[in-house]
Structure 1
Amino acid sequence: MTVIMNDEAFEKKGFKISTDKNLLNVDVIYDYLNNESYWAKGIPRQKMAKAIENSMCFGIYLNHEQVGFARVVSDNATFAYICDVFVLPVYRGKGLSKWLIQTIVKHPDLKGLRRWSLATLDAHNLYNQFGFSPLSRPENWMEIFTPYIKPQ
């Protein structure tokens, strides 16, 4: 299901959010994640393409140009992990990231989930507005962390 989210205030300025993967500009997404993000530097392009293919993706567009992005990994029933969230630097400070997260947590396919998660180094204030908080039981969580993915 493709969802196009419009908000009157942003629509007047030409912005829209869509889950239509055909609209995604993978070059813009890969360039930002590989070169600008702290969490995905050096990610192989084919890994990013596979991640996009297997995720629910939300693109922010201004006049059909990609200006922001987020991925959600979910079973659409109980759990969702929000990742790879960004707004290009020139478009920051306009409320777009807030609108993006609001759109994600209100998406019809993601309603009624038991758990949402994400990881952030510096955007706690953004996510707190939507009910995110530090893990309630961090001792229950485990991970395998392999930040430097080798091409296959």
Structure 2
Amino acid sequence: MKLKADGSVERYKARLVAKGYTQKYGIDYEETLAPVAKINTIRVLLSLAANLDWPLHQFDVKNASLHGDLEEESNSDHTLFLKSDEGKLTTLIVYVDDIIVTENDAEEQLKLQKYLSQEFEMKDLGDLMYLARSKIGIFMSQMKYVMDLLTETGMLG
């Protein structure tokens, strides 16, 4: 859940969800579900960006998501999308209401962003947060995330 500065609930956020095609009419047919990327898929995307020195861009899709219990596992990941066109490669991964995009052509990323913005209300969050690059790879900092969370909730002291 996302909290306001005063500690009250601003909105609930989904984290554990199921795939829509497993829904059964009369049981869970009308539930709202959201995709959750597998950690290995995220690692592959980060590895691709690190090895090819591609940018990582993040978007937040404004939507309402409910969550439910996950009763089955899938061996594939339905949250990774690839587009290849004349040597230009764009990858997109979805995690609930966040999208991460990396590509070898900035113009393709802008086209994708424009198209998605026509379909969904989105907020451009810029470069992927809590990420540091060096010549030896990409590093994600949980320390910065925790410090930002403590600051946001007024619990830093």
Task: Report the TM-score, using the length of structure 1 for normalisation.
Answer: 0.31
Which is strand-richer, 1 or 2? 2
Larger RCO (CA under 8 A, 6+ residues apart): 2
